[in-house]
Amino acid sequence: MSGLADETVRLARERLYSSVLSDVLDKRGLLHQVLSSHLRPLDESLVLCGRARTADFRDTYHAEDNQDAYGLLVPFEDSLVADDVVVLACGPSQRLHPWGGTQALATTRRGAVGCVTDGLVRDVAQIRELKMPTFALGMGAVSLPGRGRIVAVDVPVHCGGVWISPGDLVFGDADGVLAVPREAEAEVIRAALALAAEEREIVRKLREGATMKDIYRHHRTF
C-alpha cells in the first residue's frame, strides 16, 4: 500500500463519518454505495475504515460438496496486511456463516482492521473482545461446511447490495457501512473533509444560539 493510500485511510478514520461520506457520494451521482441497513455492527462504538479484500461464497446443500469449504479462505486470510477490511459476499440465502472468532483473532494479528459480510457471524463475544469492527447480517452458532463454500478471492463482489472491488475504501460506523470506489476516492475524500468541517461549524453556531433558519440561509444544509 502506498504512503498516499495510508494517509487517505488515516484521514478518513480520524475525521470522517458515514453520513458525510454518503452525502458526498450522493452529490456525485454515486447513489448505490451504502450497504443494506440490515447489516449492523457488532459494536456501535467502533469505526471501520480500510481497504477492501474480497471473497465470494456460494450455497451448497450437501456435506460431500463441501470437503474443503474453506479452500481459498485460509491462504486469503494469511495474506492480509495492515488496513485491510475483509469483505465476504454470501448472496441472498441468509444461511452462510463465513466468519468467526478464530478468524478475527488471526487476521487482526496480521493488521486487518475489520470485516463486512452479508452473511452471518459466530463467536460474537470473542470478536467484540478483540475490538474488531464487524458488520454482518446477523449471528448464529452453525459453521460453513455443508451450507456453503468459498469460490473466489480478490474479485469484485456484490455484498449488501453494493458492488465492491479489491482496494475500494470501506467505511462503517454506528449509522452503517459503505464503499467508496477507488477511482472516485480522492475527490470524495476531499469533499467529505470539507463538508465535515462545515458541519462542525454548524454545530458550533447552534450551540451559540443560532436558529435552523440562520443555518439553512448561510449553509443551505444542516
**How do residues 143-181 score in pLDDT, each as one tens digit?**
998 899 999 999 999 999 999 999 999 999 999 999 999
The Cβ of residue 52 has, within 10 Å, a number of other Cβ atoms equal to 23
R_g of the chain, CA atoms, integer Å:
19
* pLDDT tens-digit map of 56-89: 999 998 776 546 778 899 999 999 999 999 999 9
pLDDT of residue 1 exceeding 50:
no
Phi and psi based region of residue 115 (left: phi greater than 0; alpha: psi -120 to 50; beta: remaining): beta
- The DSSP bridge partners found for residue 46 are none
Tell me the pLDDT of the chain averaged across its residues: 92
- The residue behind cell 456484490 is 158
Rounded to whole angstroms, the Cα distance separating 103 from 96 reads 15
What is the model's pLDDT at position 211?
Answer: 86
Angle of helix 185-207 relative to helix 3-15, nearest 10 degrees, comes to 30
Count the helices and strands in the chain (H runs, E runs).
7, 12
C-alpha cell at 74: 485460509
In Å, how far are 55, 63, 77, 92 from 66, measured between CA atoms? 17, 5, 19, 19
Rounded to whole angstroms, the Cα distance separating 34 from 160 reads 8
C-alpha cell at 21: 461520506
Instruction: Grade residue 197 by pLDDT with cuts at 50, 70 and 90.
Output: very high
Instruction: Grade residue 222 by pLDDT with cuts at 50, 70 and 90.
Output: low
Comparing 1 with 198, which gets the higher pLDDT? 198
